[in-house]
Structure 1
Amino acid sequence: MLELGLARSCSGRKVEDRARLFDVLSPYDGSVVGRASDIDCRTLAPRFDEGSRAARKLQNTQRVQERLRNWAAKIEARRDELARIVSVETGKPIRFARVEVATAVATLDAHVSCPPVPLVRDWPAAQSAFSILNWCDPVLSTVREAATVLNSGRALVIKPSSQAPLASRELAVLWNEGDEQDALLCVAPSTDAVGMLRAALMSSQVTEVRFQGSRDVGTFVSSVCHEAVVPVSICASERIPLVAHARADVSSRCDAVINRAFLPPLLSCAGRISCLYVHDSLADSLIPALIDKVSSLRVGDPLDDETDIGPVIDDVATALISEQVEDALYEGATLLGGQIVLDGRQLQPMVLDHAKPFMRVCVEDLEGPLLPVVRFGHPSELPSTACLTVDSLMQSVNHERFDWSRFSRQNAR
């Protein structure tokens, strides 16, 4: 079990022994996999002040890039441990967690490969940003936020998801080197997300609030920031319809759909599939084949290399999925077996046929292995928004089921 957040604060100072802790639970079996400091929102102001002081001493991005380069080397050296932390706290299958860590290192390599640039201080003295992250891809999200903000000459305080703070806190420990640049990056776990946001908005040092997560929460964060007249950057999860309309090579098309809808290793990097539109001429051949392939996906322990689908993140997400499916079935959609197969938070992947675009399951965020299928007869029935096509997916990856475990092993060398 991991116990993080007690050894160091964002600037390397000792945290008070009486700091509150909260348990981090495994989505797989509900066991306590770690504890993190529950930072009091009233203590955020000094962290922004320290970060801004460190940022104001930067004349160009060279020192930041050197520090990011060292950070990448530390992450690479601890890649297996970090992947395991991601897997136990988010339920992501371990082979996908390895892909996430490898992608994070590649992200840092890309940032440090650019030549240093001078920092023109023609804006106010405040030099801090505040970022709120959700539970998806905690290593990659933390690294991407840090590289983006620090390379702009500002400090960053990150409030990770209370469901998955352990990987972000471990990255903060790896960032520390015992000098003043430690204060450039602070990870502050807390169970009081609203209090942390309001504390950030009250700080004169914060020039930007950044958010990554669901559309509903993003709307709330944006509204609060606009009221406080603080710039905000929202990266809300995007949902994109997928369209299948060609009859040839049904098996390869099924593999392409499964790779994108059920087996994406990086949830924060690509739009999630909202539903699959299937032309009537293709439906009777593609949908049974798709259901057959989906039923063969392995659900289980995320630390098992053979697992394809890990657990749903929490009971709230499980209840939401159940409600969405029940509403869809009531409205006329069909599900093989007629009901959800659920064991705790272990949800058997589902293809929900005869769905309609107006159904909740096609409109709301999905937090589990579920693919609604909408049948259509004419292109005019497709949504007016941008869509992905199965053919475009097949052109971007191999037609066979993509072996992410092989990818992660190659990147671990």
Structure 2
Amino acid sequence: MESINPVTGEPLDEYETHDTDDIDTALSNAETAFDDWSQQSIAHRGTLLQKTAERLDERVEEYAELMTREMGKPIEQARAEVKKCAWVCEYYAETAAEHLQDEVIESDPDARTLVSYEPLGPILAIMPWNFPFWQAFRFIAPNLAAGNVGLLKHASNVPGCALAIEAVLEDAGLPEGVFQTLLISSSEVDPIIEDDRVAGVTLTGSEGAGRAVGRKAGEQLKPSVLELGGSDPFVVLDDAPIEATAERGAFARLQNTGQSCIAAKRFIVHDAVYDEFVDAFVDEVEALTVGDPMDEATDIGPMARPDLREDLDDQIERTLDAGAELLTGGEAVDGEGAYYQPTVLTEVPSDSAAATEETFGPVASVTRVSDEQEAIEVANDTDFGLGASVWTSDLDRGEAFARRFEAGLCFVNELVKSDPRLPFGGVKNSGYGRELSRHGIREFVNAKTIWVQHGLGEGETGDDSYAGVE
């Protein structure tokens, strides 16, 4: 497995992949590790997560540079990603006991009834390249805190990141087998999901990959969480503060070079402020610096791979052929690296590629609407339902509008983002299940009902009125 620098197209490193025997050994190690790890106290597991956070904080620069070299993320954004991974480890170290404490539920007056949240076993995580540390750690922290053990199949273009994640957990003192990286191809995933030693699977990736993994998990009657693509609407109402909204909109679309499932992709703008917003938005986009992601002044780096740039260019060309107007950008950057000009399209037909497909790169489409009702209709006219935002000077109006979005993550006057304290996930073709917060740590646990009957002494038979009981 080879990592390629997207700035130069030159190889960085080669890594030996795992074969069938290696995979079998890893699964056996995971099964053995789970037997002990699941019996450790939540406090002990939290202590090791806290140590992991400390290691991450100590190595921010090292891991940020690794991410930037492997997939082209601007260096300052890479540093922020490492720090966020430390945060999610700290969060679950502090809150896992509360999230997983027994839930006492009153039922029969002569019984003590409760729900106990208990781990399931080894969980397979299939993770993407765009946030190579964060995507993995938002799986790792809650699941290890809950007592599960992890197996990571990372994207094939970030093997260095995958191994660094395994190493930092090992350095923090996690026992052998509690977390393992598998350097394997996508074709080797199905047999792992089918293996009896694996208890569940989670994937962050494309809609196609999600359907395949969800189907395979369903065949095995194993739980799955799928965080898939998005085509997030960014709705600008007629009372929005235009300058500030345009500035936030440019970052919402172009952070991580636009390669984010929760990036704002479809800008839906009220007619009363449309021209003013478009002018301000294009100015903000054109002011961003495209360049070497290791340079502190760079806002937009290369796309992660040349084929991804080709796919984006094809989507833009098809959208222009359908009748859209190009305001800025629209072409690959000449020279080395998978660079693409930041692009803004307007008059985008509702059935064109930019309106119906996920555009995973630095391109924004802008649509004019006549009123608030049309804005919500256009926002929800998509097969995706991951994130959405609305921008307005009236917070009550904004919250009422946000409640009408068909999406899992709905923001008022803020770009869509993940936060360890809040559930993260989508609806429709953006997947199902939730990561992070209390909701995320409970995805791969057994919500076990325990009933303790009082007053049944020797010689007593208890209530004999069982007729009709299931």
State which of 71, 84, 90 in structure 1 corresponds to 2:52. Answer: 71
Structure 2 match to 1:213: 205
Q: Structure 1 residues 29, 390: CA separation in 2 closer, same or farther (over 3 Å shift)?
A: farther
After superposition, the C-alpha distances for 1:323-365 in whole angstroms (9 at most, x for unaligned) are: 1111111111011368424335111101111112321112212
Listed as ranges, the matches of 1:13-412 within 5 Å are 22-58=1-37, 59=39, 60-114=41-95, 116=97, 127-177=121-171, 181-190=175-184, 192-195=185-188, 197-246=189-238, 249-263=241-255, 271-336=262-327, 339-343=330-334, 344-384=337-377, 385=380, 387-391=388-392, 395-396=413-414
In the superposition, the TM-score normalised over structure 1's length comes to: 0.82
What percent of counterpart residues are identical? 22
Contact 2:63 2:82 in 1 (8 A): yes
In the alignment, the residues of structure 2 paired with residue 366 and residue 266 of structure 1 have an alpha-carbon distance, to the nearest angstrom, of 8
1:409 is matched with which residue? none
The Cα of 1:178 is off from its aligned counterpart by 10
Inter-partner Cα distance in structure 1 for 2:269 and 2:247: 15
Residue 255 of structure 1 aligns with an amino acid whose one-letter code is E
Q: CA deviation at 1:310?
A: 0.9
| 1:132 CA displacement | 0.3
For the residue of structure 1 that corresponds to 2:344, the secondary structure is strand
CA distance in 1, matches of 2:199, 2:328: 53
Cα 1:166–1:377 shift into 2, 3 Å: same
State whether residues 334 and 353 of structure 1, in contact with CA within 8 Å, keep that contact through their aligned partners in structure 2: yes
Q: Distance in 2 between matches of 1:40 and 1:380?
A: 55
**Cα-to-partner distance string for 1:63-85 (whole Å, 9 max, x where unaligned):** 32222122211111111100111
Mark the runs of 5 or more structure 1 residues left unpaired by the alignment.
1-21, 398-413
Conserved 8 A contact 1:312-1:367 = no
SS of corresponding position for 1:181 = coil
Deviation at 1:378, TM superposition (A): 3.3
Q: Tell me the distance in 2 between the aligned counterparts of 1:276 and 1:322.
A: 19
Looking at structure 1, the residues matched to 239 and 269 of structure 2 have their Cα atoms a distance apart, in angstroms, of: 10
Distance (Å, rounded) in 2 between the aligned partners of 1:316 and 1:265? 15
User: How far apart, in 2, do the equivalents of 1:339 and 1:153 lie?
Assistant: 48
Q: What SS is found at the alignment partner of 2:157?
A: coil
SS at match of 1:262: helix
Contact 1:257 1:390 in 2 (8 A): no
Which runs of 5 or more residues in structure 2 are unaligned? 103-114, 393-397, 399-410, 416-470
Task: Supply the distance in 2 between the matched residues of 1:347 and 1:260 (Cα, whole angstroms).
Answer: 17
**TM-score normalised by the chain length of structure 2:** 0.73
Amino acid at match of 1:63: H
Which letter does structure 1 place at the counterpart of 2:296? D
Shift in alpha-carbon separation, 1:168–1:352, aligned structure 2, 3 A: same
Cα displacement string for residues 299-336 of structure 1 (whole angstroms, at most 9, x for unaligned residues): 11111110000111112211111111111111110113
Tell me, in whole angstroms, the C-alpha distance in 2 between the residues paired with 1:241 and 1:178.
40
In the alignment, the residues of structure 2 paired with residue 266 and residue 369 of structure 1 have an alpha-carbon distance, to the nearest angstrom, of 5
Look up the equivalent residue of 2:360 and give its one-letter code.
E
| Deviation per residue, 1:358-403 (Å, 9 max, x gap) | 2111221222110011112233433443742133678448xxxxxx
Q: Distance in 1 between matches of 2:101 and 2:272?
A: 59
Aligned-partner residue type, residue 167 of structure 2:
V
Range with greater deviation from structure 2 (207-216 or 42-51) = 42-51
RMSD: 2.7
Residues 2, 15 of structure 2: 8 Å contact kept: yes
Bigger Cα Rg: 2
> How far apart, in 1, do the equivalents of 2:412 and 2:101 lie?
43
Deviations 1:146-199 (A, max 9, x none): 112212212110001001121221121122259781210001122x1121x122
- Asked whether the equivalents of residues 237 and 269 of structure 2 are also in contact (C-alpha less than 8 Å), the reply is yes
Give deviations 1:80-113, integer Å, cap 9, x for gaps: 1001111111111000001101111111111111
Report SS of the residue matched to 2:175: helix
Q: CA deviation at 1:242?
A: 1.0
> Aligned in 2, Cα 1:331/1:179: closer, same or farther, shift over 3 Å?
closer
